[in-house]
A and B are shown apart, each in its own frame.
Chain A
Amino acid sequence: MPLPADVDTSTPKHLRDKYAIVGVGETTYTRGSGKTTRALGSWAVRNAIEDAGLKPSDIDGMLSYQSGDSTFSPMIAGDLGIRLNFYMDVFGGGSSTEALVGMAMGVIEAGMCKTVVIFRAMNGFSQVRIGGTGARAAAPVSGDMLHGRAYGWQSAGQMFSLTFMRHMHDYGTTPAQVAAVKAIHSEHAGNNPKAFYKERVTVEDVLKSRYICKPLHLLDCCVETDNGTALIVTRADRAKDCRHTPALIRGVVGRCNKPRMDMHYQHGPISTVAGHYGKEILWPNAGVGPEDVDITGSYDAFTFTTMLQLEDYGFCKKGEGGHYVSDGTMRLGGRRPNNTSGGHLCEGYTHGLNMVIENVRQLRHDVDDSCPVGPDGKRQHTYDYRPGGCRQVKDVEVSANLGWAMPGTGSAMVMRRG
C-alpha cells in the first residue's frame, strides 16, 4: 500500500527514511553446524557485505548480541580485515535486533562511523540451547533464580505459557486458532528452499503433537538451529551506491519495558506485552499505522508470541488475536502475510534476525524462492503460492518487524521500499 500523501518524511527528530538496510546475509540453517560461532558469524557478515556490493573496508562499525553463547565483533572484524571505528556486543535476546538497528542509526548519526554491520551467530541446537537443556539447566540455582528455577520455571516456553493461558481464559482464544500460526508459517517455509522445516503441517498436526508445557505443544515451539545472520545499515544517500533497492528505515523502537520487571508478572494484565508500549513510539515515528503495513515479521519463538505481538502492536483489537492469526490474513496471498520465510517456527531460530532479512528481500521484490531467475539476475516471480512455488508478496511497499524477549521487552521496526 502506498504511503499516505500527507506523511511528513522530513522530520529530523525521528530520522525517518534517512537510513537503510543495504545488505543481508546468512549461513545455512542446520542442526550440527560443525563450525564455531566465529566461523558462522564471519560467513554471515561476508555474505551481507557481498550482497550489498560493498568491500570489507567499507564497513567501520559492528554490533552484535548474544546470551553468553557466541563470539564478539572484534573477532569477526579481525577475521575479515575490517577496521572498526565503533563496535558493541550486547547481552540480549529477541528484543535486540530492531533495537540494534536503532543503535546503528545513532552511531552513524553521531559521526562515529559510516556503515554498520549487525550480526548474530549461534549454535543454538548443538551448543548452548536457549530452550535451556544441558549445562544451562544444570547450573546452581542462586539468588533471584530461587523465585523461578527452584519451581522448575525456567525455559522461555515455561515462562511465557502463563500469559497465553490467561489470554485463553480472558478472551476465549482457542488452541486451534494459535496452532494456525504454525500451519501458515509452514506453508511459507515450503516455498523457502533454505528453511530447515519445509514440510507443511496442519492445525491438527500441532494439536496432536506432545505437550511441552500446557498450553504449548511441541509444534507450538520454534526450531532450534545453528546459524549466523547479518545485516548492514548505512545512510540512505550512500545506499544509492549499493547493489540492491534499499530498505529504508521509517522508525525503530527498542526495549519497551513494562513499568515493572515482569518476569514475575507483577504489573498490569499479564497478557499485555511489550508491543502495547512499543506502539506508542513505533507508529508515530514511522508516520504510518498498522493499516498501512503490507507484511509483518513477528518474533515467533512460539505460535502465541506471534498472536500477542500482532494484537498489542495494533494489527487487531486486544482479544481478537486468535481470530486474526487464523482467518487467512497472515497467509501468502492474504491481506498481510506474516513471516513469509517460515520464521523461527520453520525456517530456523536465529534470535530475531532472519525475519528482518526476509522483509528486506520482500521490499526489494527479490525473495530467494523457487521462481526462475531472469537475465537481470532477479527472480521472475509468479505469485503462485502453491507448494514449492513463489513466496514473494506482490507490490510490497511497507513492512513491520516485531521483536520480543521477555513479555515486557521488545523492539520493532518499520521499513519501506526505497
Chain B
Amino acid sequence: MAINATYLGMPLEINDLDVENLEYFKHCAAHDFHLQRCDSCGLLRYPPTTACPWCASPKSTWTRVEGKGAVHSYSEVHHAIQPAFKAHTPYLILLVDLDAQKGKPTADEALRVVGNLATPDGKLAPPEMVRSVGIGTRVRMVFSDVAPGLAIPQWTIDEKAAQPAKPWRYPD
C-alpha cells in the first residue's frame, strides 16, 4: 500500500507501483535490514532494483543482512539544500561499505549503503559526534522512525567494534 509521510518536515512518498521500495522500507520499519539476493547469481544488491545488475535476472529473494561496516567516504554538509536540513548543519552523509559481500564480485566492489551519521536512537548526530567520524570508522545501522511502515536506515558509531586509532578526516 502506498506510503505518504513527513520526515524532518520533508514530504516522503512511495506509490503502489513501487513494489521494491515498499518491500525494502517495510523491513526497515521493523528495524530489520533486508536486501534482494539474486536467485540466479546469488549476489546482494543495493538500492532495490527490478533486475540483477550483475546477471540481469528478474528473480530475487529478500534476505536479512547485518547492518555493519566501515565508512568508505563521507561529506560534511554545511550549506543545506533541503530546507528540512538547515537546522541540522553540519550533518554527515556517509557511504558505508557493508561487511557483507565486501570484495565481491571484484576486489573493488562492496555494497555501499548511504545514510546520515545518527545517534543510537536514530536522531541526526550532534556536532561533536560529527567531528569524530571519518573514513575507516566502524559503524552499525540504526533506524529513524518516520511513520507506520516507514523507517529510514542510518548509521551510528559501533561502540563494540575495534575502531581505527585515527579515522581519516578532511584537514580542517
Contacts and interface: CB of A to CB of B under 8 A. Distances in A.
A214 B170 contact: yes
A147 B114 contact: yes
Given A169-B73, A265-B112, A131 B81 contact: yes
Contacts of B129: none
B91 interface: yes
Interface in B1-32: 7, 10-15, 18, 21, 25
B12 A146 contact: yes
Contacts of A259: 53
Contacts of B77: 152, 158, 212-214
Contact of A133 (B47, B78, B81, B111): B81
Contacts of A270: 72-73, 95, 112
A165 B12 contact: no
B72 A166 contact: yes
B86 to A, nearest CB: 9
Interface stretch (A137-145, A304-312, A337-345, A392-400): A137-145
Nearest to B124: A152
Contact of A150 (B112, B152, B170): B152
A151 B116 contact: yes
B53 to A, nearest CB: 5
Contacts of B109: 266-268
Contact of A162 (B73, B80, B116): B73
Contacts of B116: 151-152
Contact of A211 (B79, B91, B152): B79
A154 interface: yes
Interface string A254-281: 0000011100111111100000000000
A137 B83 contact: yes
A210 B25 CA distance: 36
Contacts of A202: none
A131 B106 CA distance: 34
B143 to A, nearest CB: 12
B36 to A, nearest CB: 13
Contacts of A158: 75, 77, 81, 93
B114 A266 contact: no
Given A158-B81, A264-B112, A266-B53, A150 B91 contact: no
Given A158-B93, A266-B46, A151 B114 contact: yes
B76 interface: yes
B67 interface: no
Given A210-B78, A213-B77, A162 B95 contact: yes
Contact of B10 (A150, A212, A213, A214): A150
A283 B74 CA distance: 33
Contacts of B106: 268
B73 A132 contact: no
A264 B114 contact: yes
Given A150-B7, A213-B93, A266-B46, 5 more contacts: A137-B81, A152-B85, A175-B170, A214-B76, A267-B108
Q: Which 10 A-B pairs have the closest CB atoms?
A: A152-B85, A161-B75, A214-B76, A211-B78, A166-B73, A140-B11, A162-B73, A213-B77, A132-B81, A147-B47
Interface of B: 7, 10-15, 18, 21, 25, 45-47, 53, 72-85, 88, 90-91, 93, 95, 106, 108-109, 111-112, 114-116, 135, 152, 168, 170-171
